Amino acid sequence: MMDTLKSSNTAMQQVSTLAQTSNAAAAEASRSTESAMATVDSTVRGMDAIRETISEMEKRIKRLGERSQEISQIVGLINTISERTHVLSLNASMQAAMAGDAGRGFAVVAEEVQRLAENSRQATAQIANLVQNIQIETNDTIATVNKTIDQVVQGSDMARSSGDKMRETRAATQRLVQMVETIAQSTLSQVGLSADLQSAANEITASTQKTAEQLTQQNQVTNSLVSASQKLVESVAVFKLPAQASQA
């Protein structure tokens, strides 16, 4: 019985140690989950900030494209004016040629106007080309920005999903910690009860051994008394009373 109690107590102590170790591991897992949750939340906030920044940049690029379109319209208007001026200067040159010497001065002015109109037309053509390139690059940039926004949104959604999963993991870990703590406390109580039981069993064993020793001693005394009584009876039997002697 004592060996069984000792084995049971040892097993309970081992279970208690394992429960405490499991409790520590579960607590560490809970702390790691909390740290990972903080990292995920920080990542989500950072990605949200990036998305807002990129969205603002997209708005500005669109406004730039709108301004480029306005510039293109103005350039078209200037180009139209230049073409009309060029036509008018040609007509003026023809009229000056028909006037002969009287229109020579006017012809010089008409040629200068024609030259300025041509320069203006060439300049507007260059500006139109530049604006067109700007619009193309702006559209490409907007497409890239939109793609980046989509990627950021997907990353943010994935981070949020990971955060939700980690919250579920954290809740499960916390429940596990509570269960392990309950098991550890229950095991400690059982270890205490087992120790008390073993102590009581030790006391009973010691008392039983003492009682057995006392019974052995009593048995020895009883045997001695029996032996002495038998010897006394034998000694008394040798002697006979007078009445018994006459009868004999």
DSSP assigned state of 103: G
pLDDT-derived band at 102, boundaries 50, 70, 90: low
Q: How far apart are CA 31 and CA 23, in angstroms?
A: 12
Note the pTM of the prediction, 2 decimals: 0.47
For the residues of 105-120, what is the DSSP string, one character each? HHHHHHHHHHHHHHHH
Backbone angles phi, psi at 239, to 5 degrees: -85, 140
pLDDT-derived band at 3, boundaries 50, 70, 90: low
DSSP assigned state of 241: -
- HSE (CB half, 13 Å, CA atoms) of 240? 7
Compute the average pLDDT of residues 2-12.
59
Compute the average pLDDT of residues 37-50.
80
Residue 243 clears pLDDT 60, i.e. is over it:
no
Q: How far apart are CA 92 and CA 130, in angstroms?
A: 33
Structure tokens at 214: 């006392």
In this structure, of 58-62, 79-83, 86-90, 231-235, the range with the lowest mean pLDDT score is 231-235
Tracing tokens 């002015």 back to the chain, one arrives at 109
The pLDDT value recorded for residue 76 is 81
Domains assigned to the chain: 2-234 (1.10.287.950)
